[in-house]
Amino acid sequence: VVGLGTGSTASLFLAHLAERIQRKGLEIRGVPTSEATARLAESLRIPLVELAPSSAPDLVVDGADEADRQGRLIKGGGGALVREKMVAEAGRGMAVMVHWAKVCPELGAFPLPVAVLPFAWRMIAAAVSSMGAAVRLRSDRDGGPRLSDDGLMILDCAFGRIPEPEALEEEIERIPGVVACGLFTGLATRLLVGGPDGDVEEFPVPADAD
């Protein structure tokens, strides 16, 4: 069972996976992390299965918006962070593939996505602002809020720098009405970094990253 991430990088992985499933007759089932990924997997004839204890992914493969050298991540640029986090937490390992420009010494240049219950968004925006972030409600082209697959609003929270990702993740996820924040700490077990020439280097992720 493979957890199927969301985004342009994960989509490339899906295409390769589909090709291998067909060529080698592999018995692989995918747990999709978004409706878009589910649709793509179906079009590629990757068999899907719902997230359940009996279908916990052996490996999750996903992209990220930012990664540090310890394998800590910011995710959710595509708005799928809640399902991505649930699938990653259920999985036995998580391989993250990123372009080299997304690897940074410290997280925070990418505004941190936070998925929230619409009812509570103003309260949560105020709470996260008081932690030092500039907070924006993610909107559609028509100006209305962009909702996630689960009907949640996304707050993009620009911290600039996040010196203690684990502590911030815990603090934000304690706010009532927050479903998940885009900090993923202690989840990535492999970090695969694509270089400018198309070469791929694996950066070692410390086992005690969390």
With binding defined as CB under 6 A, does residue 169 bind ligand A5P?
no
Identify the DSSP state of 29.
-
CB 51 within 8 A of CB 86: yes
Kindly tell me which residue out of 1, 2, 9, 188 binds ligand A5P, with binding defined by CB under 6 A.
9
Q: CB of residue 204 vs ligand A5P: minimum separation in angstroms?
A: 21
With binding defined as CB under 6 A, does residue 80 bind ligand A5P?
yes
Q: CB of residue 24 vs ligand A5P: minimum separation in angstroms?
A: 25
With binding defined as CB under 6 A, does residue 64 bind ligand A5P?
yes
Helix, strand, coil share of the chain (percent; to 5): 30, 25, 45
**Which among 124, 130, 25, 115 is positioned nearest to 77, based on CA atoms?**
115
With binding defined as CB under 6 A, does residue 81 bind ligand A5P?
yes
The residues annotated as belonging to the active site are 84
With binding defined as CB under 6 A, does residue 83 bind ligand A5P?
no
Tell me how long the chain is.
210
CB 46 within 8 A of CB 21: yes
CA atoms of 202 and 163, how far apart (whole Å): 24
Kindly tell me which residue out of 30, 57, 71, 76 binds ligand A5P, with binding defined by CB under 6 A.
76
* Segment 123 to 142, residues that bind ligand A5P, using CB under 6 A: none
Name the residues that contact ligand A5P, by CB under 6 A: 5-9, 62-65, 75-81, 84
